[in-house]
């Protein structure tokens, strides 16, 4: 008996777009040699797709998936860029015997496991099993459902408070997409964004999120005049800053909602900017001109070239939750958080830490002089009504006390 394990490098397309083919190939060959080095005996490793590595080991080897992940997820430096690869892993036990499936069937099965790992978000793992076969059928059903979901208004923004870590006051919200599925219940974005992209409906999602969030924020500002400079940020999806009419759409949304300048904030990731910095700079400036403010999302996970930052009209840096969540255990993360905060100060950018899950992290962030945070320690993304209650309470007593995360 053997085990077949496939590691699929997440977000390779973005890496490719940002670094170009040649550098991406360097990354891939570095990963391949790491994998080979991690399994010196009894194993054969191969690159089986553009971004996939397979390894076959005897079933007696222990912790194979874990070792594949360990080997592939080490940070590496290529041509001056720091890369933090994450990998989705699918595993399959290969049994011998007369009824054994052939190679093509084995690959199909292990790919299904990889798909399922990916559906769980970046860095997931899954083993092949019967249930996955019916999942792929249900994917078809989901696809039909999703087309209808937009029409029926089942896709809605939830709102996660972004809090002033010093005072506990709500500074703004991040709108996060949720699908209120009539049978499945609340579906998180990781489970339908991929499908939305496959269906070519990403722009529709972006517009829907912007329109509804702006409308909601305007309502809150009207009912809670004390909220002052409250903002709401909306995520742009990969490639959205390149789409035609984005600026016109944003301008219209802001105008129709009557929001003050800067209240609608758009979150963009590094990969989006690195693809074509000149073009991105123009679009970002036009977005500012029509009254949006701008945040650089997941800062630190991308392809850290800092030179562009000073030249782009961002208002906010968001430190990726990976660094925040590990800052009490990992000195490197703590240093990165501190230097991002310093960078923000030097460039006059507001810095928001993601992933503030507990009071200790909030304290460490304050120590690092980071002023804003969002995370489960304050609140998860809430339905609009609950978000408003949260806001009202914060306005009443000026603070949103951090809760210890209940396990």
The span from the CA of 200 to the CA of 282, in Å, is: 25
Q: Which of residues 279-298 bind Ca ion (CB under 5 A)?
A: 297-298
Q: Which of residues 281-340 bind ligand C2E (CB under 6 A)?
A: 297-298, 321
The span from the CA of 108 to the CA of 128, in Å, is: 10
Q: What is the largest CA-CA distance in the chain?
A: 74
Task: State the CB neighbour count (10 A cutoff) for residue 197.
Answer: 14
- Whats the size of the chain, residue-wise? 407
- How near is the Cβ of 145 to ligand C2E at its closest, in Å? 18
Q: Contact between 189 and ligand C2E (CB under 6 A)?
A: yes
Q: Of 168, 188, 291, 383, which lies in the binding site for ligand C2E, with binding defined by CB under 6 A?
A: 188
E-strand ranges in 121-208 read: 125-127, 155-164, 170-181, 185-187
# of chain residues touching ligand C2E (CB under 6 A): 23
Phi, psi angle pair for 20, to nearest 5°: 90, 160
Q: Contact between 375 and ligand C2E (CB under 6 A)?
A: yes
Question: By C-beta, is 188 or 262 nearer to ligand C2E?
Answer: 188
Q: Helix (H, G, I), strand (E, B), or coil: what is residue 241? A: helix
The span from the CA of 124 to the CA of 140, in Å, is: 22
- Kindly indicate which of the ranges 149-157, 228-236, 271-279, 379-387 contains the residues binding Ca ion, using the contact rule CB under 5 A: 228-236
Q: What residue has token string 């299904």?
A: 112
In the shown chain, the binding pattern of residues 334 to 373 toward ligand C2E, with x for contact by CB under 6 A and - for none, equals: --------------------xxxx----------------
| Contact in structure between 164 and 378 (CB atoms under 8 Å) | no
What residue 355 binds from Ca ion, ligand C2E, none (CB within 5 to 8 A, per partner kind)? ligand C2E
Q: Contact between 242 and ligand C2E (CB under 6 A)?
A: no
Q: Which of residues 153-172 bind ligand C2E (CB under 6 A)?
A: 160
The span from the CA of 273 to the CA of 4, in Å, is: 37
DSSP string, 27-55: HHHHHHHHHHHH--SS-EEEEEETTEEEE
- Kindly indicate which of the ranges 33-41, 118-126, 241-249, 260-268 contains the residues binding Ca ion, using the contact rule CB under 5 A: 260-268
Q: Write out the residues near Ca ion by the rule CB under 5 A.
A: 235, 267, 297-298
Q: Write out the residues near ligand C2E by the rule CB under 6 A.
A: 160, 176-177, 188-190, 193, 205, 209, 235, 237, 297-298, 321, 354-357, 374-376, 380-381
């Amino acid at each position: 008996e053997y085990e077949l394990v496939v590691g699929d490098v997440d977000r390779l397309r973005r890496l490719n777009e940002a670094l170009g083919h040649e550098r991406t190939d360097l990354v891939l060959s570095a990963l391949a040699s790491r994998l080979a080095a991690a399994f010196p005996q009894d194993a054969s490793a191969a690159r089986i797709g553009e971004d996939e590595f397979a390894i076959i080991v005897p079933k007696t080897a222990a912790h194979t998936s874990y070792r594949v992940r360990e080997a592939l997820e080490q940070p590496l430096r290529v041509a001056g860029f720091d890369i933090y690869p994450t990998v989705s892993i699918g595993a399959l036990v290969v049994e011998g015997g007369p009824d054994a499936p052939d190679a093509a069937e084995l690959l199909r099965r292990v790919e299904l496991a990889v798909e399922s790992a990916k559906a769980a978000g970046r860095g997931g793992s899954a083993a092949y099993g019967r249930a996955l076969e019916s999942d792929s059928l249900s994917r078809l059903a989901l696809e039909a459902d999703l087309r209808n979901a937009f029409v029926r208004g089942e896709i809605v923004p939830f709102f996660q408070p972004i809090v002033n870590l010093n005072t506990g006051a709500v500074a703004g919200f991040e709108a996060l997409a949720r699908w209120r599925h009539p049978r499945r219940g609340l579906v998180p974005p990781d489970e339908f964004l991929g499908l939305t992209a496959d269906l070519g409906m990403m722009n529709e999602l972006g517009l829907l999120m912007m329109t509804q969030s702006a409308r909601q924020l305007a309502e809150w500002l009207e009912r809670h005049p004390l909220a002052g400079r409250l903002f709401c940020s909306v995520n742009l999806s990969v490639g959205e800053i390149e789409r035609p009419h984005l600026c016109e759409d944003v301008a219209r949304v802001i105008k129709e909602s009557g929001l003050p300048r800067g209240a609608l904030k758009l979150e963009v990731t590094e990969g989006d900017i690195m693809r074509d910095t000149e073009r991105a700079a123009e679009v970002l400036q036009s977005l500012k001109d029509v009254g949006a403010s701008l945040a650089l999302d997941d800062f630190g996970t991308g392809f850290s070239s800092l030179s562009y930052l000073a030249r782009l009209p961002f208002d906010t840096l968001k430190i990726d939750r990976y660094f925040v969540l590990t800052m009490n255990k990992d000195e490197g993360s703590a240093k990165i958080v501190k230097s991002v905060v310093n960078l923000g100060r030097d460039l006059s950018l507001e810095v928001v830490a993601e992933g503030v899950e507990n009071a200790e992290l909030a304290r460490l962030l304050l120590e690092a002089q980071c002023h804003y945070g969002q995370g489960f320690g304050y609140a998860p993304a809430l339905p609009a009504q609950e978000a408003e209650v949260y806001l009202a309470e914060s306005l009443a007593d000026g603070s949103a006390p951090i809760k210890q995360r209940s396990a």
